[in-house]
Amino acid sequence: MTKKAFITGITGQDGSYLAELLLRKGYEVHGLIRRASTFNTSRIDHLYVDSHNPDARLFLHYGDLSDGARLVSLLAGIRPDEVYNLAAQSHVRVSFDEPEHTGDTTGVGSIRMLEAVRMAGVDCRFYQASSSEMFGATPPPQDEETPFYPRSPYGAAKVYSYWVTKNYREAYGMFAVNGILFNHESPRRGETFVTRKITRAVAAIKAGVQDDLWLGNLDAVRDWGYAAEYVEGMWRMLQADEPDDYVLATGTGISVRDFLEASFEHVGLNWQDHVKFDERYLRPTEVDALIGDASKAKRHLDWEATVDGTALARLMVDADVQALTHAGRPWIDAVSLESWS
Q: Contact residues for ligand GDR (CB under 6 A)?
A: 90, 92-93, 131-133, 182-183, 192-195, 197, 215-217, 220, 222, 256, 281, 283, 286
Beta strands of the chain (E only): which ranges?
4-8, 28-33, 58-62, 82-85, 125-131, 175-181, 184-185, 213-215, 221-222, 225-226, 246-248, 254-255, 275-277
The Cα–Cα gap between 203 and 178 comes to 36
Q: CA-based Rg of the chain, rounded to a whole angstrom?
A: 19
Residue 231 CB, nearest approach to ligand GDR (Å)? 14
**By the rule CB under 6 A, 265 interacts with ligand NDP:** no
Which lies closer to ligand GDR via its Cβ, residue 29 or residue 227? 227
| SS3 call for 331 | coil
By beta carbon distance, the residue nearest ligand GDR is 220
Q: Burial letters for 79-91: b for 16+ Cβ neighbours within 10 Å, e otherwise? A: ebbbbbbbbbbbb
Is the CB of 99 or the CB of 216 nearer to ligand GDR? Answer: 216
Residues ≥6 apart with Cβ < 8 Å to 34: 11, 40, 62, 63, 64
86 binds, among ligand NDP, ligand GDR, none (CB under 5 to 8 A by kind): ligand NDP
16 catalytic residue (yes or no)? no
Q: Compute the distance between CA of residue 333 and CA of residue 272 in angstroms, rounded to an integer.
A: 28
With respect to ligand GDR, which residue has the nearer C-beta, 75 or 87?
Answer: 87
Measure CA 3 to chain center: 23
The single residue of 17, 84, 127, 154 carrying the catalytic annotation is 154
131 counts as catalytic: yes
User: What is the rounded CA–CA span in Å between residue 280 and residue 283?
Assistant: 8
**Binding segment toward ligand NDP, per CB under 6 A, in 53-61, 177-185, 195-203, 298-306:** 177-185
> Which of ligand NDP, ligand GDR, none does 11 bind, CB closer than 5 to 8 A by kind?
ligand NDP
State the binding string over 59-98 for ligand NDP (x if CB under 6 A, else -). Answer: -----xxx-------------------xxxxx--------
Contact assessment for residue 236 and residue 259, using Cβ atoms and an 8 Å cutoff = no
286 is catalytic: no
What is the closest distance, in whole angstroms, from the C-beta atom of residue 54 to ligand NDP in the complex?
27
Give the list of residues 6+ apart from residue 311 with CB closer than 8 angstroms, or none. Answer: none
CA distances from 268 to 34, 210, 254, 261, 262 (A): 41, 16, 20, 10, 10
Comparing CB distances to ligand GDR, the nearer of 108 and 119 is 108
CB of 64 to ligand NDP, least distance (A): 4
Catalytic residue among 16, 110, 131, 161: 131
Cα separation, 8 vs 5, in Å, equals 10
Q: Which of ligand GDR, ligand NDP, none binds 9 (CB below 5-8 Å, type-dependent)?
A: ligand NDP
**Pattern 105-124, binding to ligand NDP, x per CB under 6 A?**
x-------------------
- The β-bridge relationship of strands 58-62 and 184-185 is unpaired
Among candidate residues 73, 52, 54, 46, the one with its CA nearest the CA of residue 62: 73
Closest to ligand GDR by CB, 160 or 175: 160
Backbone angles phi, psi at 126, to 5 degrees: -125, 125
281 binds, among ligand NDP, ligand GDR, none (CB under 5 to 8 A by kind): ligand GDR
Q: Output 270 or 285, the one with its CB closest to ligand GDR.
A: 285
Catalytic residues: 131, 133, 154
List contacts with ligand NDP (CB under 6 A). 8-9, 11-15, 32, 34, 40, 64-66, 86-90, 105, 129, 131, 181, 183-184, 190
